[in-house]
Chains A and B, each alone.
Chain A
Amino acid sequence: MAGQGGAGRGAAIDISAVSKLYGDFAALTDVSLAIRPGEFMTLLGPSGSGKTTTLNVIAGFTEISGGSLEVGGRSVVGVPAHKRNIGVVFQHYALFPHMTVSRNVAYPLGLRRVARPEREARVARALDMVKMSDFAHRYPSELSGGQQQRVALARALVFDPPLLLMDEPLGALDKKLREWLQLEIKRIHRELGTTFVYVTHDQEEALVLSDRIAVFNRGRIEQVGTGRQLYDEPETLFVARFIGDSTILRGPARTDGSSTALSIAGETVVADKRLDGAVTPVMLLRPEKLSLRRPGAAPDASGLNRLRGTIAEAIYLGSGSKYEVRLGDGSIALVRSALGDEGFAIGEAVDLTFAGSDAKLLADDSSADVMLT
């Protein structure tokens, strides 16, 4: 999977036990991350979680307080930003307003003393790659946001850096343009084989683009993995809640051998696994693992967990329906039903069922709620 399709020119990055302190405030605490050559790695997290600080550390805009950082097998600690040879695309484009598009793109080549004929050829190629050749003589102020960001991409890639960093590059654009540019970025990554490190707070964008995702929370990495791993096997409650929809069941827990029982408003649900250590377990359920029945329907579901609730909200999605079900303890469960399943009306009493094997057990973490609001 790593370096797929590319020529393998990308650089590996090894971040090891990096910390960053601003006075007493720890922006990064013990962050370790190994990025493979040619990989598309996304740093995902809410604002203030440390993802942009990590990017700035790699770029050389911020010096680290402790730990080590290697790019392409060489330590870059103490190396100033302009000697790192790393491309950076900024959220607000950061195109030089007093230079035309082509002079912007030629800028890093001029600094590297690339001869004029070659410089022009490479500028033309870079602009062609982002489909901006027709705008070479415009000034940035005459371009739209999407066009400016494509020029910024060309400028960051024209000097063939082995590593490209992108800090929420599509954050300021509208949805349609963002989706189209996501595909463009993916295509360029595939063509070049450069290592891409991408910062975003948008989990959908992360899922579309990335080979792997590192989820940041409060200056730490919570989990690293492919989108599927993060969705199916979240290791922390924060990750579970940040990636995809989920229902969290909380209640007094009793561990019995290899299974755990939770009591919710007088009803008991059981998951066939257990958490070790002195932690409070909560149950995590993805919407498609839950199903709804009318109360009193045939109890064929032997061995299924069952919770009583009422439909609080019903949303028709075309490909199916989404329901919010209010449970006995007042919490809300999210249920997605496929097309052709029977429909339910708001206010209707329902039974919520799920298999004990589909429930994940995670340690409770109240900060996961705070960070997402």
Chain B
Amino acid sequence: MPMRPMTRVLLGLVCLAVALWLVAPTLVVVPMSFNENKSLAFPPKGFSGQWYANFVSNPEWSMSFFNSLKVASLVAVAATVIGTLAAFGLDRMRGAASGWLRLVLLTPMVVPGVVLAIGIYAVYLDTQLVGTLLGFVLAHTMLAIPFVLIAVSASLEMFDKRLELAAASLGAGRWATFRTVTLPLILPGVLSGLLFAFATSFDEIIVSLFITNPYLKTLPVQIFTSITRDADPTVAAVGTILLVATTVLIGGGLLLLGRERRT
């Protein structure tokens, strides 16, 4: 779009400010995590790795981390399978029904978290699911399915269905067609759905806060209680670890994607 040099400079500055606003605040956890004092006040004093050590050695932290890992892995698998099936079903459905059904399956994204949380809490109290692995996995899977549905549906939309007819004409049955043609071609969508499902569960806090109990805490719950209870810099250490891990994963993924597209 043609524009005056002044406009161009202004636009660049705004963009830079927004980028900083997006990224910089989160970076504040990094210096805080090396604080020598047990305080979250700025500026941090000295340099110490004790809070990282605490994260590893303190069972409260390490257990919650492994709980999150366990729940998120199970959710990723369950949501990917169920969500992919649903995406296929909607894709093959005719008429207006599929549109409405898709909207229904996407509602968990817009239902206010707290309302959902008290509802699930009420039901879980009746069914003894509070603080259980099954309870967490069920709730998180329901929350993650929309993301899988969106990702897989997008790649199904790109997928040329005539390729399935071609495979059938060459002698491939339904299962062989799915295995050799459909799945390899929609795999990027399925994988990104898997990733989204994992992240959704790993990050979920509102419902988790309600259905947690001392026996089963996930990492976000642990972080939340730590922030509200005391000024333990271990949260900053955990934040730093999550920040680095996410950046590496996303950056690597984008680079990989860019390279693939070039070939």
Query: Is chain B a partner of chain A in the same complex?
Result: yes
Report A's interface with B, CB cutoff 8 A.
59-61, 80-88, 90, 92, 94-98, 107-108, 111-112, 155-156, 159, 165
Question: How many chain-B residues does the 8 Å CB contact rule pick out?
Answer: 18
- Which residue of A is nearest B162, CB measured? A94
**CB–CB B162/A108 < 8 A:** no
Chain A residues lying within 8 Å of B170, measured Cβ to Cβ, are: 82, 87, 107-108, 111, 155-156, 159
Residue of A nearest to B169 (CB): A88
Q: How far is the CA of A80 from the CA of B174 in the complex (A)?
A: 10
Chain B 205-216 per-residue mask, 1 if CB under 8 angstroms from chain A, else 0? 000000000000
A61 and B168 alpha carbons, distance in the complex (Å): 9
Residue from A61, A98, A108 in contact with B171 in the complex, judged by beta carbons closer than 8 Å:
A108
Report how far A68 CA is from B185 CA in the complex, Å. Answer: 37
In the complex, which of the residues A61, A83, A108, A159 contacts B165, with contact meaning CB atoms closer than 8 Å? A61
Q: Tell me, yes or no, whether B166 is within 8 Å of chain A by CB.
A: yes
Chain A residues within 8 Å of B162, by CB: 90, 92, 94
Collect the chain B residues with CB atoms within 8 Å of residue A155's CB. Answer: 170
Q: Which of B160, B168, B184 has the most CB of A within 10 A?
A: B168
Within the complex, what minimum Cβ distance (angstroms) separates A162 from chain B?
14
* Residues in B175-200 with C-beta less than 8 Å from chain A: 176-177, 180-181, 184-185
* Nearest CB of B to A261, in Å: 54
Contact B166 A88 (CB under 8 A): yes
A81, A84, A92, A165 — most chain B CB neighbours (10 Å): A81
Query: Considering the chains assembled together, what is the distance between the CA atoms of A90 and B185 in angstroms?
Result: 19
Q: List the A residue with the shortest CB-CB distance to B165.
A: A61
Q: B16 within 8 Å of A by Cβ?
A: no
Given A90-B162, A92-B162, A111-B176, A98 and B169 contact (CB-CB distance below 8 Å) = no
Q: How far is the CA of A59 from the CA of B171 in the complex (A)?
A: 11
A86 and B169 form a contact (CB under 8 A): yes
Question: B171 — which chain A residues lie within 8 A by C-beta?
Answer: 82-83, 85, 108, 111-112, 159
CB distance from B195 to the nearest CB of A (A): 21
When the two chains form their complex, are residues A80 and B168 in contact, meaning their CB atoms are under 8 A apart?
Answer: yes
Q: Is B173 positioned at the interface, with any CB of A under 8 Å from its CB? A: yes
- Report the Cα distance A87→B177, complex, angstroms: 16
**Given the complex, which residues of B lie within 8 Å of A80, measured CB to CB?**
168, 173
Complex: A87 Cα to B165 Cα, angstroms: 11
Most chain A beta carbons < 10 A, residue from B165, B170, B173: B170
Residues in A with CB closer than 8 Å to B177 are 82
Residue of A nearest to B181 (CB): A96
A28 to B181, CA, bound (A): 31
8 A Cβ contacts from B141-184 to A: 160, 162-163, 165-173, 176-177, 180-181, 184
B180 touches A60 (CB 8 A): no
Is B176's CB under 8 angstroms from A90's CB?
no
Some 5 contacts from A to B, beta carbons below 8 A apart, are A90-B162, A94-B160, A94-B162, A94-B165, A111-B172
A98 lies within 8 A of B168 (CB): no
Instruction: Determine which of A87, A94, A111, A159 lies in contact with B163 in the assembled complex, contact meaning CB atoms within 8 Å.
Output: A94
A61 to B176, CA, bound (A): 17
A88 and B181 within 8 A (CB): no
Q: How many angstroms between the C-alpha atoms of A92 and B165 in the bound complex?
A: 12
> Given the known A-B contacts A94-B160, A98-B184, are A60 and B168 also in contact in the complex, defined by CB atoms under 8 Å?
yes
Measured CB to CB, the closest approach of chain A to B149, in angstroms, equals: 23
**Cα–Cα, bound, A1→B168 (Å):** 32
Contacts of A84 in B (CB 8 A): 169
Given the complex, which residues of B lie within 8 Å of A97, measured CB to CB?
Answer: 185
Further contacts, 17 of them, CB under 8 A, given A80-B173, A108-B171: A60-B169, A61-B168, A61-B169, A81-B165, A82-B167, A82-B168, A82-B169, A82-B171, A87-B170, A88-B166, A88-B169, A92-B162, A94-B162, A94-B165, A96-B163, A111-B171, A156-B169
> Which listed residue (A60, A82, A85) contacts B172, Cβ 8 A?
A82
How far is it, in angstroms, between the C-alpha of A59 and the C-alpha of B168 when the chains are bound?
9
CB-defined contacts of A112 to chain B, threshold 8 Å:
171
Please, which residues of chain B bring their CB within 8 A of the CB of A98? 184-185
C-alpha gap A85/B169 in the complex (Å):
7
Return chain A residues, CB-CB under 8 Å to B169.
59-61, 81-82, 84, 86-88, 156, 165
Q: Chain A nearest CB: distance from B177 CB in Å?
A: 8
A98 and B173 CA atoms in complex are apart in Å by 19
A198 and B168 CA atoms in complex are apart in Å by 19
In the bound complex, CA of A159 to CA of B180 (Å): 18
State in angstroms the CA–CA spacing of A88 and B162 once bound together: 11
Which residues of chain A are within 8 angstroms of B185 by Cβ–Cβ distance? 96-98
C-alpha gap A90/B167 in the complex (Å): 11
Check A82–B173 contact: CB distance below 8 A.
Answer: yes
A109 to chain B, nearest CB (A): 9
Give bound CA distance, A156 to B165, whole Å.
12
Q: Of the candidates A86, A94, A159, which one forms a contact with B166 in the assembled complex, judged by CB atoms under 8 Å apart?
A: A94
Contact of A88 among B160, B165, B172 (CB under 8 A): B165
CA A98 to CA B159, docked complex, whole Å = 12
Give min CB distance, B33 to chain A, whole Å.
44
Interfacial chain B residues near A87, Cβ < 8 Å: 169-170
Give complex CA distance A96, B160 in Å: 10
Within 8 Å CB of B173, what residues of A? 80, 82
Neighbour of A90 across the interface among B166, B172, B184, CB < 8 A: B166
A111 vs B169: C-alpha distance in the bound complex, in angstroms?
Answer: 11
Top-10 shortest CB links A-B? A88-B169, A94-B166, A108-B170, A81-B168, A111-B171, A82-B168, A94-B162, A98-B184, A82-B173, A108-B171
B187 nearest CB neighbor, chain A only? A98
Tell me how far the C-beta of B180 lies from the nearest C-beta in chain A, rounded to whole angstroms: 7
